[in-house]
Amino acid sequence: MILRMTTMDPAKEKEVFCGMADTDTKEYFRYVGNDHYMVKENGYGIQSSVLKELMELGIKKVHITTKTSTKMDSNISDWIKHGKEKDYGNGKQIFLAVKFMETK
């Protein structure tokens, strides 16, 4: 089953789309624009509440595709082990540095 993932963004004061979860293949897919890269963290973030939901769904792989079509894959366990929780105004997120992602 494909689930459309959303989360509340306090800075925008609205629910925002944040990716698609495939509960059959246990994969999460997210498209990111240039503004999603967090220089301070050298990587990308997933809302803490969404990451928790993905874990509850049994998701194992995270696939991020950038605006330039770069694909980066990681295990959800890497987000737990190496991720850093921060809040830069858009709600608590877990940031994972790209050095923990496999670029394709």
Q: Is 63 helix (H, G, I), strand (E, B) or coil?
A: strand
Alpha helices in 45-91 (DSSP H): 48-56, 76-82
- pTM of the predicted model, to two decimals? 0.93
Place of tokens 């979860």: 21
- SS (HEC) of 75-87: EHHHHHHHCEEEE
6: its two tokens: 């959303």
CA 7 to chain centre: 11
Q: Give the pLDDT score at 11.
A: 87
pLDDT score, position 104: 85
Residue 93's φ and ψ, nearest 5 degrees, are: -130, 155
Check: CB of residue 72 under 8 Å from CB of residue 98. yes
Per-residue pLDDT tens listing for the chain (104 residues)? 999 999 999 988 999 999 999 999 999 999 999 889 999 999 999 999 999 999 999 999 999 999 999 999 999 999 999 999 999 998 999 999 999 999 98
Q: Which amino acid is at 61?
A: K
